[in-house]
Structure 1
């Protein structure tokens, strides 16, 4: 059965991808409303590229479901008075059949499209319509994306059918004998076995027909990072050394660049540029650090700017995988409707729990709050509003719902790496990346000669050189690493955590909440740690506290429900 049509490619394609397609006559020389059989669709490399981009166009329709499931089920987001029944059910972990968000079919639609493309890429290779190199890159891209989709299904539904073909009738999935549901732990092992064997784990290289710039958008960040997927699979499966090794490869993306800034900055969480604030850090105007009004809070500088700025050098230091929304192409940005109090339906809002967490932090200047709060949320007519997805939306042009679906960035890689390193017995390395960076954690300020300081002296993947010395002169590959909390201008956590694996793990996950709030990581974080610790209370306490702080009458009931592991997963209703 063929699931892909030219209609799929042209309606619902991401803006940059759509522009790419329409700007290449060789890619589309057919009528957009024409349904083609496979012999007409898979003729050459341009058709293969069209199929790849069509998959990502379909993927973007999952953006709202992805964020709602991964955030509302956790403790950082809650419902407003405008929320419908489906959202209220998710918030209280009381989902019943018919909930529009707890529907696995939308994920399987994209998976079956992936299966169809993977099969036809093989046919094209056999028929010599594409080269081995072109096949390897495209097969690996769609294969990794399918693994990521299945990881999402496992996180939310627990036991799911693992299907690598495109069934003739999708409703056959109801037949558990033909398509047995695989436990999450088994699914992880199957996904790892498949993803490890992908021909190419690196991103598309420069020169690929899929890597270009269209209307100012560099398409390379449009595609999933395969190493990030594999690293996450290892982390979930408890393969900590493999996870750290794989994440480290992502963190070293710029290591071989001839551009010094790319070499030292790309995915390395660069420290603040205190002189001019041209960075992605929380900062203040120099020498005015005690003046709250001097906090850097604009679209071109500082931490907030990563959610607003165009794809310039600073943007590329942080972002790994981002899918854009455009006013010109469907689907429109769903986050305006979800979060905006003005111009949207304001269905979801920041929880009191996340606000309390931000307010419990201390900045280096003594201010008793985490400035990332001011950049992640705002207040509209007294109502708290999630802002990360709405900065590029204006009421002056209400129909232009542009924006981005933020999927993966450097901070996420560092936090996941730290989580793996900690579990692998490297607590000091994990603590360093969590706090103020390698150089600071491994330094002795009283010693001028840094030859044997500011580096870990650990075997790979824990071998970091952050030396920044004057006499003798050193500029180690990680000398600009400022750490997650360092970049956020927060005081470091106790060094005693370096020898307390479980306490450090909770600190890492808490930092993820502060740094990555609303980006689709919270429920997976809570679930992964609860599974690892075999401690239902870890998850239940946090969700119960969220509801209690919101005055939800069912808080105790929900907490009790989540003490049963079976209630962590959504019902698999087809």
Structure 2
């Protein structure tokens, strides 16, 4: 596909990113006589930046489809009576031809743009219009985004064409005579090899011209994190030690604010409470989904998030999906998800979980509403928008707890179940504070090689502040009780894995992870009932008469994948 991007200045280039699909469509659909050919477009660093941000702008248009495919197909989300046939088909795994949510074309449209940009960046580099550093950073970024897109396609469709060239008609990818399809397992290995070979795996440096602020939005939050993606691919491929290394490499790097900010340097990925002490409150957890993107607590919580703004296209898709005031209220939290939050206990014994009612979801006008994506649109107390036309919002893609829970999953399978238990529960200091050790300098420390070398010591004589001395653990941060200590034993790794996946549901609900989480574990165990039973129980609790039929269908993993048409 020939990317038709005009040579524009940097400010306008970043506006392309915020303007999303509609702006990109105008750029891609200009009549030929008005098109600036690639040879006249890719002339300098600003053109390269415009191309990169244009791809991310088009990528932003996938948010609604990504959400539906990864959450409604699983067990935490259900349809409302307002849902049309397409959503009902997704919910009951009975997708018919023409279902808009099951169309792979939008993903391939972005992929073909990636291919074109990568090709032209290479031409710029070869003709000395880009330095080695500028080229490596941008080419690697777009290459990693393409890998993320292919991984998502593989998770949803199973066998897909893997295309690295550019051409004009996106439907060409469906021609199997030209582009044979590759199975998910082989696709993951292909993506791992590509990611391992990238010349640049770190986030863009602060001095890069793509790192800027537009209308208070820091662009540094918009780009895919390559090591998180590589860790996810390793985890899917059952390369647990490599996955743990990739995740730890993120945990041990600085925040977007940079290493000069001592508050943020290690606290970004150690699940601190969002303040300078170890306190934790419900209101603090809720604000991770509403506070300013410039806020340091936001930048310690979110690794990858993007913006919907009322001034730019595309329109925020989450309002119509979730809101019952100002939106169409098409999907809602499942009763399974609600019951799971209700089953948790605070440390004082109260049956409650900060992450459930009034945070992740809220009762609005007597109906359960998924709130995570609505806090920039509605009033947090009432669930009602003050200005229904100001449809601002964010697409939350990868968060600090996602990183910690994935690390815990990898560590648990890599023979480090106690570390997994620690990160899920009360943190390293809680699990490794062995008072039977007489030397206090040897407590709260794992004494293991990388990537399992955690130091949570906090001493004044001698003065020691381990990197993870603020690490609370996922459950302790929201003040729910620890899981049973017997789960620290390596022999209980399967039960610990069950609890990690359940913690994923409690902490990460509706953030686009659930379908792949269930698939990954079910395939790893060669146990389709792990996935099928969870979907069945959701449908059963919500009174869907198709529950038993869906379970029988999902007991065959071949039926986990959407038709590629």
- Interval of TM-score (by shorter of Structure 1 and Structure 2): over 0.9
The 1-side partners of 2:232 and 2:386 are apart by: 41
The 1-side partners of 2:15 and 2:529 are apart by: 44
The 1-side partners of 2:7 and 2:327 are apart by: 29
The 1-side partners of 2:134 and 2:521 are apart by: 39
The 2-side partners of 1:380 and 1:13 are apart by: 39
Normalization by structure 2: what TM-score?
Answer: 0.92
For the structure 1 residues 431 and 15, does the alpha-carbon distance in structure 2 shift closer, same or farther, using more than 3 Å as the test?
farther
Shift of 1:179: 0.5
Q: Which runs of 5+ in 2 are unaligned?
A: 21-29, 379-384
| 2:350 is equivalent to residue 370 of structure 1 | no
| 2:298 is equivalent to residue 340 of structure 1 | no
Contact kept, 8 Å, 2:345 with 2:352, in 1: the verdict is yes
2:512 alignment counterpart: 520
Written as runs of structure 1 = structure 2, the 5 A alignment for 1:174-573 is 174-254=174-254, 257-271=259-273, 281=280, 283=281, 296-297=282-283, 302-311=284-293, 312-374=295-357, 375-394=359-378, 395-445=385-435, 449-499=439-489, 500-573=492-565
For the structure 1 residues 226 and 540, does the alpha-carbon distance in structure 2 shift closer, same or farther, using more than 3 Å as the test?
same
The 1-side partners of 2:8 and 2:285 are apart by: 37
The 2-side partners of 1:128 and 1:217 are apart by: 32
Shift of 1:379: 0.6
For the structure 1 residues 18 and 106, does the alpha-carbon distance in structure 2 shift closer, same or farther, using more than 3 Å as the test?
closer
Normalization by structure 1: what TM-score?
Answer: 0.91
Alignment partner of 1:373: what SS? coil
- Matched length: 542
Q: Which runs of 5+ in 1 are unaligned?
A: 21-29, 284-295
Alignment partner of 2:453: what SS? coil
Q: CA RMSD in A?
A: 2.4
Deviates more, 1:252-261 or 1:380-389: 252-261
Contact kept, 8 Å, 2:16 with 2:57, in 1: the verdict is no
The 2-side partners of 1:115 and 1:204 are apart by: 20
The 2-side partners of 1:510 and 1:9 are apart by: 47
Alignment partner of 2:129: what SS? coil
Contact kept, 8 Å, 1:264 with 1:479, in 2: the verdict is no
Shift of 1:556: 0.7
The 2-side partners of 1:382 and 1:557 are apart by: 31
2:382 alignment counterpart: none
Alignment partner of 2:405: what SS? helix
Deviates more, 1:442-451 or 1:514-523: 442-451
Alignment partner of 2:269: what SS? coil
For the structure 1 residues 14 and 330, does the alpha-carbon distance in structure 2 shift closer, same or farther, using more than 3 Å as the test?
farther
Shift of 1:366: 1.4
The 2-side partners of 1:365 and 1:313 are apart by: 31
The 1-side partners of 2:307 and 2:187 are apart by: 30
For the structure 1 residues 50 and 350, does the alpha-carbon distance in structure 2 shift closer, same or farther, using more than 3 Å as the test?
same
The 2-side partners of 1:520 and 1:497 are apart by: 27
| 2:103 is equivalent to residue 103 of structure 1 | yes
Written as runs of structure 1 = structure 2, the 5 A alignment for 1:72-111 is 72-111=72-111
Contact kept, 8 Å, 2:475 with 2:481, in 1: the verdict is yes
The 1-side partners of 2:34 and 2:502 are apart by: 50
Alignment partner of 2:144: what SS? helix
